[in-house]
Each structure stands twice: as C-alpha cells, then as structure tokens.
Amino acid sequence: MDALQCSGRTLAFLGDAVWSLKVRSWLIETGQGNGDRLQRKSIAFVSAKAQSHFYEILHNRGFFNDEEESYYHRGRNSNAGSVPHNTPVAIYRQSTGFEAMIGALYITDAHERIEEIFQETIRIQQEG
C-alpha cells in the first residue's frame, strides 16, 4: 500500500481504526477502568471534537512536519460525505485530516511517530 496513492478519505478510514486501537489499548494497559468507563474515556481521544482540538494545539506548536501536514490537508479537503448532526463541519473536517495523517503514518511504518503524537495528546489531556 502506498500512502500517496490513497485518497484522503481512505487514509482517514485507516487512521480512525489505528487511533482507536491505540487509545483503547492504552486505556486497558494503564488500568483506566472497564465497560462504560473505558468508552467514556476513549471519547476524550477519538471524538471529532477531541481530534480537532489535538490537531489545532499541536499544529500551533509546530509539532507536525511538512509531510504530515500535507497528509492532514488531503484528509481535511477530501469529500467528507455526511457529517454527524451534532458536529460542526469545520471540526469534522479537521478531525478527518488528523485521522488521514495517522493513517498515512501507519502505512509508511512510522509507528514511533504515531506514538509521539499519542503521547503529546495524553499531555494535552492532562493539561486540561
């Protein structure tokens, strides 16, 4: 699979799964609870609002390189299809871009970089 050949939506589809697995694994490994509690905690990382927030903060800090930003823009600018009713379009598009970037990093075997991004999102969550 070549990340350059994938559409932004395809990268976001994959990135959504990668990010969700990363979050859920971490929650279980760190003993964050079970059942409903795990679901509520995961939302703080996997919801469109959370992903948009993470991207905005990390982008403003200059955390992402040019290649990562280009994958983000491919996802953000892709035809998003239907947007959930409770999510503003701008937030949904920004989260789609974030997921596309994660998907591209996964395809290019940049697993350490995904981990770096994840660790930064944990810090952001702890900052409140």
Q: Which residues are catalytic?
A: 16
Q: Are 46 and 19 in contact (CB under 8 A)?
A: yes
Q: Which two tokens stand for residue 40?
A: 């509520």
122-126 CB contacts, 8 Å cutoff, 24+ apart: 122/26, 124/53, 124/54, 124/57, 124/58, 125/44, 125/45
